[in-house]
Homo-oligomer: A and B are copies of this chain.
Amino acid sequence: MNNIVSKRIRQTPPSFIRGILKAAESEDVISFAGGLPNPISFPQEALKESMDRVVTDYGSRVFQYSTTAGLLSLREYIAEKYRNQYQLAVEPDDIIITTGSQQALDLIAKVLIDEGDNIIMEEPGYLGAIQAFSQYQPHFCGVTLLEDGPDISQLEEVLKQGNVKFAYVVPNFQNPTGLTYSEEKRKAVLDLVRKYHCILVEDDPYGELSFSGKVNGYISKDGLEESILLGTFSKTVTPGMRLGFMIIKDEKLRKYINTAKEAADLHSNIFSQYCLWDYVIHNDLQKHIQKIRELYKEQCQTMIKAMETYFPAEVTFTRPDGGMFIWATLPEGQSAKDLFDKAIQKKVAFVPGDPFYTDGRAANTMRLNYTNASKEMIEEGIRRIGNLF
């Protein structure tokens, strides 16, 4: 069947990570490879109460077909949260509920990219986005991500070339690096994308997982007209229900996205939208998030301490203030894939950096997830990797 499938899908990388995860799956492997939230972040009992309540209160409406944009009361809750927490003038009509943030990435690419269009990606960048965008055959313009945000002169260089459909950024505790943009970089990015009229896609799955509790604002805060904001409940309530959202002020663009969403799955699971909405209005979500922050902070500190102890000094790594990942860099010329092959022999796994770049390089970098392992496992796993150097 190879010769009958579309050019588009032949150019889409199957997820490298899924293969890695398979190797990491067996019970006796200590895995830092996944990106799974800790089960502590699922408020199981409260969600169970919400399920019962919405069936009792709303009956057949929670099981019937529904509207493409999503449950109005959930969109009202999100709009209010964005007005209060981020001082953004968001209205319920600006919001489209998506089947996880992944769907938002697919819809953005579907609606904006014609073959050969330039799009801007952080380098390294989120691989789910690379995969979603690849399907529509763009030309990826990588902009190096430094400690405090993107390389601004590279960014302007790329924007100058023209025909850039959008810039995709993850400014808070980025996946895969854990890095966060500084205030100066945020302003510089905004100035540049506005100067060149390039749509800014701000993806923020991790912003609330800030160890200090301080939640950063959005880059686009002074004008959402040429921006798309993405959010999700996957890291704070449950990823299994696949609920994310897009905020789009531009009405025309939102209509196109709505049409694409309708063609993609008509609407997102309405039962889960009711549950989630019932959960957030009957429970203290901030208190729940605080619990997650405290756990992740401890896990992150444990991993950093272990890396300082067991890794040679030539291996550098990020020190995140939130989120779920640490990014390590081996000395120039060393292959993270080779290290992975040796590590898996010692029953420990991580993700070699390769799939986070759009240029297919053999990377000397690697991503380590700390949210789904105990302190003892983190310590032991890092010790085993340390022994391989």
Query: Chain A interface (Cβ within 8 Å of chain B)?
Result: 1-2, 4-9, 12-15, 18, 34-37, 39, 42, 44, 47-48, 51-52, 55, 59-60, 62-66, 68, 99-100, 102-103, 105-106, 110-114, 128, 131-132, 134-136, 165, 199, 234, 238-242, 250, 252-253, 255-256, 258-260, 262-272
Contact = CB atoms under 8 A, between A and B. Distances in A.
Contacts of A8: 110, 114
Given A5-B112, A9-B260, A265-B99, A44 B18 contact: no
Contact of A255 (B14, B44, B52, B265): B14
Given A39-B60, A51-B52, A271-B272, 4 more contacts: A14-B255, A99-B264, A241-B269, A269-B269
A264 B264 contact: yes
A259 B66 contact: no
A60 B42 contact: yes
Please indicate which of the listed interface residues A1, A2, A34, A102 has the most CB atoms of chain B within 10 Å of its own CB.
A1
A263 B135 contact: yes
Copies assembled: 2
A260 B252 CA distance: 27
Contacts of A111: 5-6, 9
Contact of A259 (B14, B103, B241): B14
B262 A18 contact: yes
Given A55-B47, A271-B241, A265 B102 contact: yes
A140 to B, nearest CB: 15
Contacts of A135: 110, 260, 263
A106 B263 contact: yes
Contacts of A259: 9, 12-15, 131
A267 B242 contact: yes
B68 A47 contact: no
A39 B14 contact: no
B266 A68 contact: no
A102 to B, nearest CB: 5
A238 to B, nearest CB: 4
Contacts of A263: 12, 102, 105-106, 128, 131-132, 134-135
A231 to B, nearest CB: 16
Contacts of A55: 44, 47-48, 51
Contact of A262 (B112, B131, B252, B268): B131
A267 B250 CA distance: 29
B99 A99 contact: yes
A185 to B, nearest CB: 25
B255 A63 contact: no
A217 B267 CA distance: 30
Nearest to A372: B64
14 contacts: A4-B199, A5-B111, A6-B110, A12-B263, A18-B262, A37-B65, A63-B240, A63-B241, A103-B265, A105-B263, A135-B260, A240-B269, A241-B272, A269-B269
Nearest to A103: B265
Contacts of A256: 1, 5, 9
